[in-house]
Amino acid sequence: ANPLNLVSMRTVARGFGVSQDFWATVVEPLHQLNMSCNDLSPIPATAMAVMDDLCPLTRTQTSWSFPEQTSEEVFTRLTAQCRDIKLNTRVHELTILADGRLEIEDSYSEKKVFDRVVFACPASAVAQVAARTASWVEQAILRGVVYQDDHDRLWSKVLFHQDPSVYPSQHRDTLVRESAFVVDVQPRPGGAGHHIETHHNCSAWIPSAAGHEDTPMIVSHCVDQAALDPALVRGEDDYARAHPDLSM
């Protein structure tokens, strides 16, 4: 086992001379966006190399979008082999059969057998469905998963808007046109830490948005809604149970 699984990122960074100021104003804001969380301190040091590969601090990263005008073709191709899609159907129980295949029983008492089952839901829901199948170790792991909204709801509330005033006026046009993500770090009054806003600028990378910089599409976290033009706010969402806490 790697001992760095038991040491936090912050501890290792401090040991290699990373100052608290650099950690709080550069490392933490960037990787909070990367990990969709508000606190990096519990994340083990083994994650540092992976996080820097995904969202590097020392070089630029080029990302590619889907080549078509919208994402519709992407999802159409992903689901092309899905022959039977059930809506409004709750999975009730998972059973492992004698031959190793998996039987799923839904809320209508209908049973189907599969070679493989992929769960795309909160870990606690998997634990409930597999209550009579999973071992006590598997149950402990599944029920022990913590999500960001268990700590606070800053990353849960998301605003969809078209107000470019969230970007500094000096570079606003360039940011709307070129930058997929913007992290705004501002010191709080009295030296009480920093306020961090993150803005996902869909206008910069979605093909169908090209040439429409005058009507930006922005997704903002941790932003004060009162600071936005109400006429340019298009909606809001809640990302509860969307982001697990990757702590030790």
Under the banding of pLDDT at 50, 70 and 90, the label for residue 247 is low
Reported as a single tens digit per residue, the pLDDT across 203-215 is 887 777 766 667 7
Q: Which amino acid is at 25?
A: T
Specify the higher pLDDT residue, 37 or 137: 137
Reported as a single tens digit per residue, the pLDDT across 133-171 is 999 999 999 998 888 888 777 778 889 999 999 999 999
Q: Per-residue pLDDT averaged across 63-67, rounded? A: 66
Between CA 246 and CA 248 the distance in angstroms is: 7
Reported as a single tens digit per residue, the pLDDT across 92-121 is 999 999 999 999 999 899 999 999 999 988
pLDDT of res. 17? 94
**26 DSSP assignment:** I
- Per-chain mean pLDDT for the chain: 86
Cα atoms in the 13 Å half-sphere on the side-chain side of 203: 25
Instruction: Calculate the CA 88 to chain-centre distance.
Output: 25
* In the predicted structure, residue 86 carries a pLDDT above the cut 70: yes
Under the banding of pLDDT at 50, 70 and 90, the label for residue 179 is confident
Nearest CA-CA partner of 178 in 203, 148, 153? 203
* In the predicted structure, residue 22 carries a pLDDT above the cut 70: yes
pLDDT of res. 111? 94
What pTM value is reported for the model? 0.74
pLDDT of res. 97? 94
pLDDT of res. 63? 67
pLDDT of res. 189? 83
**Highest mean pLDDT, choosing among 44-48, 56-60, 148-152, 223-227:** 44-48
CA-to-CA separations, 74 to 65, 68, 80, 83, in angstroms, rounded: 10, 8, 10, 17
Q: What is the DSSP string of 34-91?
A: HHT-S--TTSBGGGHHHHHHHS-SSS-------SSSSSHHHHHHHTTT-----SS--E
- Residue pair 94/100 in contact by the 8 Å Cβ criterion: no
Reported as a single tens digit per residue, the pLDDT across 39-52 is 787 788 998 888 88
Specify the higher pLDDT residue, 212 or 175: 175
